[in-house]
């Protein structure tokens, strides 16, 4: 026989077990007299608790509500924290989308400026815009090793290298932003699901009529 499952009996009685845990408890109960007796006792305890309804004469709801209304002070403004929390549900995706758009635009514009410089369209301004960034030094050093033999192909290679750098930079940013965006979306969805299920249960509760 498997180990006793007393710790799960309360949750079983309350209908809170699912999947393999539920199967485990049911299988064990079918073969264990001790746990079955324990479950019966829990059922009886629950029935006994229900047998003790409130029989006090409380103030009727109408009068109680009137008393509460008389005591109500002016309402407080939402706290800064709650306002920030509320706003963050649309600020986060808006910021991420803005950042993604900015990264995308900046990448495309940079590449066009560089390409224009390479083809001489920018004239004197090209010299300032074409400073080689530090991360490109290895590429230019490698090109210098083949000085002469690759001279003819250098503009095309520079263009390809620049495109590669721009693409990789942009792709990295977009992957990070997309990851953050999906994380936010998952959080929002889980929160929405949890609150919806709570709301449905709340409204189907017998006490609410």
List of residues contacting another protein (CB under 8 A): 7, 10-11, 14, 16, 37, 40-52, 54-56, 58-59, 61-62, 64-69, 71-73, 75-79, 82, 86, 191-192, 194-199, 201-208
Nearest approach, Cβ of residue 182 and another protein (Å): 21
What lies within 8 Å, CB to CB, of 188 at 6+ separation is 89
Cβ-based nearer residue to another protein, 128 or 204: 204
Nearest approach, Cβ of residue 25 and another protein (Å): 13
- Count of beta carbons in the 10 Å neighbourhood of residue 82: 10
Nearest approach, Cβ of residue 33 and another protein (Å): 12
Cβ-based nearer residue to another protein, 20 or 203: 203
Instruction: For residue 147, give the DSSP letter.
Output: T
Nearest approach, Cβ of residue 3 and another protein (Å): 16
Nearest approach, Cβ of residue 21 and another protein (Å): 12
* 81 close to 147: Cβ distance less than 8 angstroms: no
Structure tokens at 19: 């999947």
Cβ-based nearer residue to another protein, 131 or 207: 207
Q: What span, in angstroms and rounded, lies between the C-alpha atoms of 162 and 173? A: 17
What lies within 8 Å, CB to CB, of 135 at 6+ separation is 165
Cβ-based nearer residue to another protein, 11 or 150: 11
* 44 close to 14: Cβ distance less than 8 angstroms: no
Distances (CA, A) of 198 to 69, 81, 89, 203: 27, 23, 20, 9
Cβ-based nearer residue to another protein, 40 or 171: 40
């Amino acid at each position: 026989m498997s180990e006793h499952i007393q710790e799960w009996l309360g949750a079983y009685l309350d209908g809170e077990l699912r999947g393999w845990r539920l199967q485990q408890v049911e299988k064990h109960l079918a073969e264990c007299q001790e746990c079955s007796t324990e479950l019966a006792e829990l059922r009886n305890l629950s029935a006994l608790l229900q047998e003790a309804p409130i029989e006090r004469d409380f103030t009727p709801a109408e009068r109680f509500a009137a008393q509460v209304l008389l005591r109500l002070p002016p309402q407080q403004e939402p706290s800064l924290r709650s306002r920030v929390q509320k706003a963050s549900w649309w600020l986060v995706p808006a910021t991420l989308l803005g950042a993604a758009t900015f990264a995308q635009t900046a990448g495309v514009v940079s590449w066009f400026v560089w390409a224009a410089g390479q083809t001489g369209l920018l004239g004197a301004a090209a010299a300032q815009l074409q400073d080689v960034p530090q991360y490109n030094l290895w590429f230019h050093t490698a090109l210098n090793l083949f000085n002469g033999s690759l001279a003819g192909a250098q503009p095309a290679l520079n263009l390809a290298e620049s495109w590669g750098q721009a693409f990789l930079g942009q792709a990295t940013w977009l992957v990070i932003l997309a990851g953050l965006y999906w994380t936010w979306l998952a959080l929002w969805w889980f929160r929405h699901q949890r609150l919806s299920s709570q709301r449905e249960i709340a409204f189907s509760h017998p006490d609410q009529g």
